[in-house]
Amino acid sequence: MDVLGSKQESGWRNKRGEASLSDVHRSIDISQSGSRWRRLAAFAGPGYLVAVGYMDPGNWATSLAGGSKFGYALLAVALLSNLMAIVLQSLCARLAIASGRDLAQACRDAFPKWVSIPLWALAEIAIIATDIAEVIGTAIGLNLIFGIPLELGVLITALDVFIILYLQKMGFRWVEAFIITLLGVIAVCFAIQIFLADPQWGGVIRGFFPTTEIVTNPEMLYLALGILGATVMPHNLYLHSGIVQTRNYGHTLPEKKQALTYATIDSTVALCFALLINASILILAAAAFNGTGRTEVAELGEAHSLLAPLLGLAIAPTLFGIALLCCGLNSTVTATLAGQIVMEGFLKMKLQPWIRRLITRAIAIIPAAFVTIWYGDAGTAELLILTQVVLSLQLSFAVFPLVMFTASKAKMGQLVAPIWLSGIAWLIAVVIAGLNVKLLVDFVSG
């Protein structure tokens, strides 16, 4: 253990254990002799894996529902969620670099078992909810492009474990390259669709300014929390705090400060890119559906079938399907890594990636297959939105520990978060918790 780290170990109940994602820990070298741009490029990657969680298939369902029903009004929620994400993800990088722990390890080392075990269970629920969204999204993507029945597509998604195993064997940089390539495909698909939809750009700009109706209208609030749950995702906080440590950034304070700067730039740029994709989904739904009087579009399959006649070009639904399939594949990789970090961090339990993947995928396939077989497209849309609200409700149980740890001088040493940053982070945590309480009250009261 380095000298800097040993000074702050007294702030934790338990000593630091095995490194996060030990098989790829500090496996990517950061040359201190290279130019600033070269070092920045070496840090680029983890932010884009995190950004995947901000555009997963569950997000599509909530954004489509919000855009078709309320037009551009919920763009403000997408923007606010993204700003929250930028702050929270920067804290994840700070926690990892300062303490050498991911968020799961930090919870294990800071709290007694009667606190950490329930936090682990909640994190697993969040990952299962994420996985359900990926199963449904990938199955719908396979159906839209290749005509594979949804029921069969749900089962085929179990085979994605082989993609992950192959990429991990080639090295972590290949995982990042795979993710970034698919993100590029998604961006091109949406750029073409937005061009074809020709939205009202004045309405788009006004949509980024929030209105009180978002809070006072229960239906709008439900979708807003769905967008929040799809944007600031609990498993992303665990994921980022683990994969940042794949960089071999050194052990001295100046090296760690430099690493924190580059890691924050990486995640901020990647999340701004995610906002563009996120907003594009909502803008497309508002322009293509709300603008033509179709205010109840939430099913991904229905959106796909309507795009060709509304946009006047046969390639539009194909682009939609390709982007959706890419999102499902991307989310598969990141959810697997997050699951590995959560299980190893909280329980010190190591499983082979393919075993871990098959277990979580099997748990997700059961409800997804049941809903798909019995309720069809309409049921999958409702299940997608429900998973995002579940994620939103789980979010506070990851956010509050993160903010608490990074605000502690005893735990973070000289890399403790500045007072102004901690203040903003606490405000975000309280706002998220308050919105969730409001959602539960509205739900109970009918």
| CATH number for the domain that contains residue 117 | 1.20.1740.10
Residue type, 412: M
Tell me how far apart the alpha carbons of residues 175 and 158 are, in angstroms, rounded to a whole number. 19
**Tokens read off for 28:** 């990517």
Read off the pLDDT of residues 200-240 as tens digits, 9 standing for 90 and up.
899 899 999 988 888 888 888 877 876 775 567 788 899 99
pLDDT score, position 238: 94
Tell me how far apart the alpha carbons of residues 75 and 277 are, in angstroms, rounded to a whole number. 12
CB of 241 closer than 8 Å to CB of 93: yes
Read off the pLDDT of residues 12-46 as tens digits, 9 standing for 90 and up.
888 888 888 888 888 888 876 667 888 888 898 99
Read off the pLDDT of residues 398-422 as tens digits, 9 standing for 90 and up.
999 999 999 999 999 999 999 999 9
Q: Is the dihedral of CA 211, 213, 215, 221 positive or negative?
A: negative
Query: Among 147-151, 198-202, 234-238, 268-272, whose mean pLDDT is lowest?
Result: 147-151
Tell me how far apart the alpha carbons of residues 233 and 130 are, in angstroms, rounded to a whole number. 9
**Tokens read off for 415:** 């890399």
Q: Which residue has the tokens 């074809």?
A: 196
The number of folded domains in the chain is 1
Collapsing DSSP states into helix, strand and coil, what is residue 247? strand
Identify the residue with better confidence: 140 or 255.
255
pLDDT score, position 1: 44
Collapsing DSSP states into helix, strand and coil, what is residue 248? strand
Q: Phi first, then psi: what are they for 159, rounded to 5°? A: -80, -10
Tell me how far apart the alpha carbons of residues 6 and 155 are, in angstroms, rounded to a whole number. 48
Read off the pLDDT of residues 382-400 as tens digits, 9 standing for 90 and up.
776 677 677 777 888 999 9
Residue 161 confidence class, pLDDT cut points 50, 70, 90: low
Q: Is the dihedral of CA 12, 90, 94, 172 positive or negative?
A: positive
**Tokens read off for 355:** 């075993």
CA angle 2, 172, 180 (to 5 degrees): 125
Tell me how far apart the alpha carbons of residues 372 and 24 are, in angstroms, rounded to a whole number. 37
Read off the pLDDT of residues 274-314 as tens digits, 9 standing for 90 and up.
888 888 888 988 888 887 777 776 566 667 666 766 666 66
Distances (CA, A) of 316 to 42, 47, 103, 154, 288: 36, 29, 41, 24, 11
Question: For residue 2, is it left (φ>0), alpha (ψ between -120 and 50) or beta?
Answer: beta
**CB-CB neighbours of 165 under 10 Å:** 15
Residue 354, domain extent:
3-444
Helices vs. strands in the chain: H and E counts, helices first? 20, 2
Distance linking the first and last C-alpha atoms of the chain:
55
Interval 112-121 mean pLDDT: 93
Read off the pLDDT of residues 346-384 as tens digits, 9 standing for 90 and up.
988 777 766 766 776 677 677 767 776 776 666 766 776
pLDDT score, position 230: 59
**Tokens read off for 257:** 């400060």
